Structure 1
Amino acid sequence: MAEDSGQEKTEEPTGKKIEESKKKGQVARSKELGTMFVLIFSAISLLMYGPEIGKGLYNIMGRMLSLNRNETYDTTKMFAVWSSVADALIFPMAMFVFIILFAGIIGNTLLGGFNFSWQAAAPKASKMSPFKGFKRMFGPQAAVELTKAILKFLVVASFAFFLINTFFDEILHLSIESAPNNIIHALEILSWMFLALSCTLVIIAAIDAPYQSHTHHKQLKMTLQEVKDEYKNSEGDPQIKARIRQTQRQMSQKRMMQDVPDADVVVTNPTHYSVALKYDTERAGAPIVLAKGVDELAMQIRKVAGGNDVPIVESPMLTRALYHTAEVGEQIPDQLFTAVAQVLAYVFQLKRFNKGRGKRPTKLNKKLPIPDAYRY
């Protein structure tokens, strides 16, 4: 995508990009580091268990060359001989294989950690494409691999020549040694030479591991547009989210306006704020806010209230206090109950008067008991 858009990958990879690359099996790996670990630990295990393996092989050879007539023609005795001589090799060979296996796991997971991906294991048609294979053979990565191969050959060949010159006299001396000492001695020389040659790969691995880590990190880098697209996909498009919030507000306001006709009173600022209240006498509790709004919405609340004969009472300080401290569908704060009770008492008396069931109520006190903490 970055190549198609012409943008440079200048942004650090996000956590999501790193996790997705791991799921695809794309982690930093150094074949040279894994090879170095396997070879060095193989040489160490050969030094540890080589003498036992050599003695075991010598005993097997001696036993097989000294079979009598009965053991040669009796198959049951033949297998018995094999089992007896093989016991000497089971433990050292098992330890030898275990150390190599352990080294292989550590060496291949030291850079990039342990990661298994079914996507990476699945067959891909692109890997079978001759054209893409040709590009891999003559691409920049192939040039790097060729350079590493030449460097490995020169380093290992040079050190091998040095080791042969160093151990030359000792190697020639093996021909005059008696068995099985010469076999054990040969294995010892071979193990030390093997270890020394394996250690030369430390130079290659020390160069290759940081290079592979840097290359992998560079491949994971993202363009600015990719970062924006990922943010949109994970967090949502800001424009879409804004439209969703607007739709939710409109639906909420619509439901709120539908409840205004059921209000007992609407208190106003009178021009900027409106709050519709309902007191359910059948329920023990404080009055509930059915609707509230400011400016244009406040005018709509008053309009709906006026069209449904809901009393409208002007009380600027109480209206602002209710608007800022009470939510729609919730009870009013206890600290405002006294002030609201006076408003409701006035409204209920006014309704009875209009129905001819009582006397005209006195005007509502403009200085309602509003706590200082609720004055807005």
Structure 2
Amino acid sequence: MADDTDDKTEDPTQKRLDEALEKGDVVKSQEVNTWFIIAGATLVLSTFSGSIGGGISMPLRNLIANSWMIRTDGAGLLQLTQTLGYAVVAAIGVPFLMLALAAVAGNMIQHQLVWSGEQLKPKFSKISPAAGFKRLFGKQAVANFLKGLFKLIALGVVMVMVLWPDRMRMESFLRVDPAELLPAITSMTVHLMAAVVAILAAVAIADYFFQYRTWYERHKMSLQEMKEEFKQSEGDPHVKGRIKQLRVQRAKKRMMAQVPKASVIITNPTHYSVALAYDRSMSAPICVAKGVDVLAFRIREIAKEHDIPIVENVPLARALYATVDIDKEIPVEHYHAVAEIIGYVMRLRRGLSGLRQ
């Protein structure tokens, strides 16, 4: 059955995104790569144009000046070729290395390095007519068309804005000595490329966010996929620990919500608090909340907010905390001590009621 993308309404989990990364399915904008290469070329041209020209022109000048000394036999011609090759490599080696680093940086800034052969495997979907039609007329194709149209218009406008002020100067290039022509053309080219880099920076940023959103939408999950992944990851100790932590947090919230229903709080002021609820319909008092340290302090704070009596009894507070569970009746051995406290609390409340009347 065909996959219905309309059902994929849930954000992808980290596990799904990690699996995509392992398969080599990463966010990649070709515009970002293009920007890095053109920016690198601009930097190379502005920085190394003089050294490249000098590094290549000097050997050629020497070659022409001493042409009568060149040996024409096989060994001499091979040596000449090697000498010129070394000169060219020395002149353009560093600039080409910078361009290669720029191309690598364009990929690394978008995603971490991935070694995967998954994208090299043949897939019938790539030669499917339906898939080809979707690539030609889909959202990606429309975005590429609009992006290309914007670049064509923007770059045309930028070229006119940069070159138009120098139009008279360019006419005079026909009468300028070639030795003076090259620096002028280099300067104009650098200015033009700098403007192109600025325009392409905006295109690259917009395209990267578009490609990221497309990639993220492609990995969205259906509710059924979420359920299946949860079942598969249930055995993960990290997941189990997180689930246990969430359960403990929920249990604490429910317990703290029961504190206002307590009849009395028995406490050891520095460590323990046990909240007991009792009315005449009960056979024995019930523990509705208990805690130590910070949780005990919070129980006492809630009790104060709701005018619940707090009774200090160090041994009883320790004993009740150790022996009684939440929502359970207190043990028989503590009936007498607790009964005295609850009786005292009831008498106190009756006395307060009489005073109010």
TM-score bucket (shorter structure): 0.5 to 0.7
Partner of 1:4: 4
How many residue pairs were aligned? 241
Per-residue displacement from partner, 1:218-242 (whole Å, max 9, x unpaired)? 2222122211111112226xxxxxx
Q: Classify 1:216/1:235 alpha carbon distance in 2 versus 1 (closer, same or farther; 3 Å).
A: same
Q: How does 1:106-185 map to 2 (within 5 A)?
A: 106-185=105-184
Amino acid at match of 1:51: G
Instruction: Choose 81-90 or 222-231, whichever is displaced more.
Output: 81-90
Instruction: Choose 72-81 or 189-198, whichever is displaced more.
Output: 72-81
Report the aligned-residue RMSD: 2.9
Q: What's the offset of the Cα at 1:84? A: 4.1
Alpha carbons 1:21, 1:27 under 8 Å: kept: yes
Q: What's the offset of the Cα at 1:69? A: 4.1
Q: Classify 1:178/1:185 alpha carbon distance in 2 versus 1 (closer, same or farther; 3 Å).
A: same
Gaps of 5+ in 1: 237-371
d(CA) in 2 for partners of 1:5, 1:106: 34
Q: Classify 1:56/1:134 alpha carbon distance in 2 versus 1 (closer, same or farther; 3 Å).
A: same
Alpha carbons 2:37, 2:99 under 8 Å: kept: yes
Amino acid at match of 1:57: I
Q: Classify 1:6/1:79 alpha carbon distance in 2 versus 1 (closer, same or farther; 3 Å).
A: closer
Alpha carbons 1:32, 1:205 under 8 Å: kept: yes
Q: What's the offset of the Cα at 1:56? A: 2.9
The answer to whether 1:74 aligns with 2:73 is yes
TM-score by length of 2: 0.59
d(CA) in 2 for partners of 1:73, 1:178: 34
Per-residue displacement from partner, 1:75-123 (whole Å, max 9, x unpaired)? 4334444444554433341111111111111112212332232101223
Partner of 2:37: 38
TM-score by length of 1: 0.57
3-state SS of paired residue (1:180): helix
Amino acid at match of 2:97: F
d(CA) in 1 for partners of 2:71, 2:183: 29
Alpha carbons 1:13, 1:221 under 8 Å: kept: yes
3-state SS of paired residue (2:111): coil
Partner of 1:219: 218
Amino acid at match of 1:35: T
Q: Classify 1:179/1:57 alpha carbon distance in 2 versus 1 (closer, same or farther; 3 Å).
A: farther
Q: Classify 1:6/1:86 alpha carbon distance in 2 versus 1 (closer, same or farther; 3 Å).
A: closer
3-state SS of paired residue (2:177): coil
Partner of 2:337: none
Identity rate, percent: 25
Q: What's the offset of the Cα at 1:141? A: 1.4
Alpha carbons 2:56, 2:91 under 8 Å: kept: no
Amino acid at match of 2:179: P
Q: Classify 1:6/1:124 alpha carbon distance in 2 versus 1 (closer, same or farther; 3 Å).
A: closer
Alpha carbons 1:50, 1:188 under 8 Å: kept: no
Amino acid at match of 1:33: V
Gaps of 5+ in 2: 236-319, 324-330, 333-357
d(CA) in 2 for partners of 1:82, 1:6: 64
Alpha carbons 1:56, 1:85 under 8 Å: kept: no
Q: Classify 1:113/1:5 alpha carbon distance in 2 versus 1 (closer, same or farther; 3 Å).
A: closer
Per-residue displacement from partner, 1:337-359 (whole Å, max 9, x unpaired)? xxxxxxxxxxxxxxxxxxxxxxx
Alpha carbons 1:174, 1:185 under 8 Å: kept: no
The answer to whether 1:18 aligns with 2:7 is no
Alpha carbons 1:55, 1:180 under 8 Å: kept: no
d(CA) in 2 for partners of 1:26, 1:105: 18
3-state SS of paired residue (2:9): coil
Amino acid at match of 1:208: D
d(CA) in 2 for partners of 1:72, 1:130: 62
Q: What's the offset of the Cα at 1:179? A: 4.5
Amino acid at match of 1:19: D
The answer to whether 1:202 aligns with 2:201 is yes
d(CA) in 2 for partners of 1:140, 1:5: 14
3-state SS of paired residue (2:4): helix
Alpha carbons 1:174, 1:186 under 8 Å: kept: no
